[in-house]
Chains A and B, each alone.
Chain A
């Protein structure tokens, strides 16, 4: 039995897919998510073998969700879409599989076959990874999407990763590495990323550099990352 997570923004679509998956007796359903933010959390918690992922979802698409995951967190992914000719073409060659809604039993059986025969790593290779433009953050119990250009810096501590804007800081489930790789943020310290566009000045005292952001917040720069940062800022 493979553990499977269903991600689709439509209730009935989730129901239907669950029924179909259960019928195959190949899966154990470990969760159902109505949007990408829930899915990000569930993938981290449940570590499913396979995710059945809708592409068109509110705020964050299925593609964006994948780019928010670390490589080693990535499950096998089967895309499920109603009609998205372009997207289908985009991942046709690289993705493990995709299903078109409404899904037929026969077609699903082939997907099951493919999942069984492909080794786990193979199955995950080369998914399209989109650039992260908005960072999902938790505010109380709601989800807020922060546009990357608004971010001044990101810090990581024992409490988790926090996105800092001029207005305050917000908790996110994304890791520093993911944000560095796909979010256009620059590493300036082991525990900090900075948005180059939000840098106001860099002060260097006794070999220690500190960045001041546009809103006046301070971000430490480590010795290791200073040369790279200088190069980027051409100073």
Chain B
């Protein structure tokens, strides 16, 4: 009985050591590591250590011939967690240690038994591999160790010489070892599971928070990284993490700051901290825990901040800035916030990538539009000039008016195509164009306009209407032998605004290269701005009419 208490004491020391190990930074969740060699090596080292410790913490009996020991706990657990090979290796290692470092009649049989117990743990591992949630329970650890220890006693009886001594040894150690060790193994497993669960909880909370931050910042970072978005970003991250302060920088300057130290960490100031520079240079997360590495503010001597986590923000592998989480000197930097900060760097980086992609996409649309405009002009311009020259012979005033329309048209063409424009402005642009075309095709083409006056302030991307009217002329009306008629309408229907450009040529075909490009761009820009529910549609009755309809929201731009 005394032995059992002593062994239990030893086991308690054991569990405490193991518990401390689990709390230490060296501990990593076991599960994901299992299949990998590195994880196995770590398991081997840890459990060999535990098993060898079991030798030392044991209580010698029968005149030092045997040791009541907890070695089996290490090898059995190693087998359970890492499989038969690991279990055997741990058992053998501890067994060799038992034989070489500590002597006694029961040393060799004990070594064999411990190895076999590791194998037994491994067998259970293999049998229950498919259901790790049932394998990793204190009950399984208890049962396996119990069976193992009974086996242990049998082996000692068989292998120890002389037989009388074997019986004496087993009598002394069987009770304590068969009872205490299974309990010890069960405790170990409980500690391990608890620690595992705790880490899972932290991860889950971090993930939930990271997602919340991501949700709040997505819209923000669509604008890219500038002082305005960085300031809001810092505030959001501070709000969600509860850290002392949050900073956002580009590669040279502080862009945004929220929280403690805002008086001297001002947006626009150059980056002063060596940690930040290191993070930017290495494209790596830098962590100063405030104990071993202390954050020393180089700007203000009275700055209260003492620890920091700096995560780089990158686009396409190039660092464009950092996001930084600070805690004050008095407060510990929470592990949860640490993993959160690292994750945030990745999330925010991918959001910046999306923003960059969007920006490039709209740049592309703009350059296409510019190209289309350049393509349109020469033919129109020279014909217009020719018409005006002709009219000049008879009617100088009208020629003058037409020149003014022409210059208005080109002036509006030079407007930045990224701008929004109202229907009224679009109609003015079209009117200048129409006046020229009416003169060119005098007597051949009639144009009617029917616009709901309340829609004049309707917003749309600049250059929405003009390409459609131009298309009607270029590929429809100017190609008809008979009288041409074009109608421009704007009206409301079911809560949306519809703008129609109709001609009676009915010559529309699936977009040919240039002809389609202008319309395609209009459609793309409307959809970019208002969403997929809006944009262009075409109705064509061959030789009768072509109607191009633009669907727009009556509320105006939402983005």
Q: Which residues of A contact B (CB under 8 A)?
A: 9-13, 15-16, 19, 34-35, 37, 56, 58-59, 82-84, 100-103, 142-143, 145
Judging by beta carbons under 8 Å apart, are A13 and B387 in contact?
Answer: yes
B389 touches A59 (CB 8 A): no
Q: List chain B positions with a Cβ less than 8 A from chain A.
A: 378-379, 381-383, 385-387, 389-391, 393-394, 439-444, 478-482
- Please determine whether A58 and B393 come into contact, CB atoms closer than 8 angstroms: no
Nearest chain A CB to B375 CB, angstrom units? 11
Q: A100 to B478, Cβ gap below 8 A?
A: no
**Known: A12-B440, A15-B393. Is A82-B481 also a contact (CB below 8 A)?**
no
Q: List the count of A-B residue pairs having beta carbons below 8 Å apart.
A: 70
Q: Is the CB of B481 within 8 A of A143?
A: yes
Question: In the complex the two chains form, is A82's CB within 8 Å of B383's CB?
Answer: yes
| A145 contact set on B, CB distance < 8 A | 481
Contact of A142 among B383, B439, B478, B482 (CB under 8 A): B482
Report which residue of B439, B444, B481 has the largest number of chain A beta carbons within 10 angstroms of its beta carbon.
Answer: B481
Give the residue of B382, B479, B482 whose beta carbon is less than 8 angstroms from that of A82. B382
Q: In this complex, which of A9, A12, A82 has the most chain B Cβ atoms within 10 angstroms of its Cβ?
A: A12
Decide: A59 near B479, CB < 8 A? Known: A10-B441, A11-B443, A12-B442. yes
With A16-B390, A102-B389 given, is the CB distance from A59 to B382 under 8 Å?
Answer: no
Q: How far does the alpha carbon of A217 sit from the alpha carbon of B167 in the complex, in Å?
A: 120
Complexed CA–CA distance, A221 and B181 (Å):
112
B392 and chain A: residue at smallest CB distance: A16
In the complex, how many angstroms separate the beta carbon of A79 from the nearest chain B beta carbon? 14
Sorted nearest first, the 9 A-B pairs with minimum C-beta distance are A16-B390, A12-B390, A82-B382, A101-B386, A83-B378, A102-B386, A82-B383, A12-B387, A83-B379
Say whether chain B's binding surface is mostly helix, strand, loop, or mixed: helix
Flag if A13 contacts B379 (CB, 8 Å).
Answer: no
Q: How far is the CB of A4 from chain B (nearest CB, A)?
A: 17
Chain A binding surface SS class: loop
Q: Which residue of the partner chain, among A12, A15, A101, contacts B382 with CB atoms under 8 Å?
A: A101
Question: Apart from A16-B393, A83-B379, what 16 extra A-B contacts exist at CB < 8 Å?
Answer: A9-B478, A11-B443, A13-B383, A13-B390, A15-B393, A16-B390, A37-B481, A58-B480, A58-B481, A59-B479, A82-B379, A82-B382, A84-B379, A102-B382, A102-B386, A143-B481
In the complex, how many angstroms separate the beta carbon of B204 from the nearest chain A beta carbon?
66
Closest to A59 in B: B481
Cβ contact within 8 Å between B383 and A10: yes
Instruction: Check A16 against B479 for contact (C-beta < 8 Å).
Output: no
CA distance A145 to B505 in the complex (A): 14
Query: Smallest Cβ distance from A137 to chain B, in angstroms?
Result: 12
10 contacts between A and B (CB under 8 A): A11-B442, A12-B442, A13-B390, A34-B444, A58-B479, A83-B378, A83-B379, A83-B381, A101-B382, A102-B382
Cα A172 to Cα B479 in complex, Å, equals 20
- Minimum C-beta distance from B156 to chain A (A): 102
A19: shortest Cβ distance to chain B, in Å?
A: 6
- Give, as a whole number of angstroms, the nearest-CB distance from A135 to chain B: 14
Cα-based distance from A101 to B444 in the complex (angstroms): 20
CB distance from A18 to the nearest CB of B (A): 9
How many Å from the CB of B507 to the closest CB on chain A? Answer: 10
Bound state CA distance, A147 and B394, in angstroms?
41
| Minimum distance in angstroms from B250 CB to a CB of chain A | 47
Q: Are A100 and B382 in contact (CB under 8 A)?
A: yes
CA distance A83 to B381 in the complex (A): 9
Whole-angstrom distance between the alpha carbons of A77 and B387 in the complex? Answer: 22
Contacts of B378 in A (CB 8 A): 82-83
Most chain A beta carbons < 10 A, residue from B382, B390, B394, B443: B390
CB nearest neighbor in B for A60: B481
Nearest residue (CB) in B for A13 is: B386
Question: How many Å lie between the Cα of A82 and that of B378 in the bound state?
Answer: 8
Chain B residue nearest to A15 (CB atoms) is B390
Which one of A12, A37, A58, A143 contacts B439 once the chains associate, using CB atoms below 8 Å?
A12
> What chain A residues lie within 8 Å of B383 (beta carbons)?
10, 13, 82-83, 101
Name the A residues within 8 Å of B389 (CB-CB).
Answer: 16, 102
